[in-house]
Amino acid sequence: MVTAWIIATIETKNNGLFIQKRVGKKGKIFGVYKIKTMKKNNGSTITVGGDGRITKSGAVFRRTKIDELPQLFNVLFGQMSFVGPRPDVRGYADRLEGDDRVILEIAPGITGPASLKYKNEESILAQQEDPERYNREVIWPDKVRINKVYVRNWSLKNDILYIKKTIFG
């Protein structure tokens, strides 16, 4: 993690660690820790494969999920768990309504069933004519559905399986 932080700092010419505001348990906003993988952000929360802002090391960190390692601190601080729905940015999770809000009843996770299904999300979005619309109308609703099933059918056995799938593919 330290090596990745140093490499990201050198390549981005800025602090290689960044904190992004996300929506967590009970809708509480918290800062998720990540290794910086982009040179600068244009304000969009959507990243597509081949995005010119992604650094060379950032592409490797994203593909191997090394950029997610600092989230272990979020787990230590009690803001996240190892498995659960990914914490989303404002404009998505904070707009959940009705029984969709069950997702916010548990701590968000570093990995989970929706994360595994959409592990190549950037590539999927890169193939779309309007990536933001596709994310909003197709991927996001599917993630909500998957995460609701996860919350309602939670088991330690399944969490262990999700962790194994995350690490070993």
What is the mean pLDDT of the segment spanning 65-77? Answer: 96
What is the residue-averaged pLDDT of the chain? 92
Q: 29 - beta bridge partners? A: 23
% of the chain with per-residue pLDDT over 90: 78
pLDDT digits (tens, 9 = 90+) for 73-127: 999 999 999 999 999 998 888 889 999 999 999 999 999 999 999 999 989 999 9
For residue 18, what are the domain limits?
2-168
One-letter identity of residue 108: P
Q: Read off the pLDDT band of 63 (50, 70, 90).
A: confident
Cα–Cα dist 112/166, whole Å = 8
Question: Within 13 Å and on the Cβ side, how many CA atoms surround 106?
Answer: 21
Q: How many structural domains compose the chain?
A: 1
- Predicted local confidence at residue 32, as pLDDT: 97
Q: Read off the pLDDT band of 2 (50, 70, 90).
A: very high
| Coil, strand or helix at 153 | coil
Between 46 and 89, residue with greater pLDDT: 89
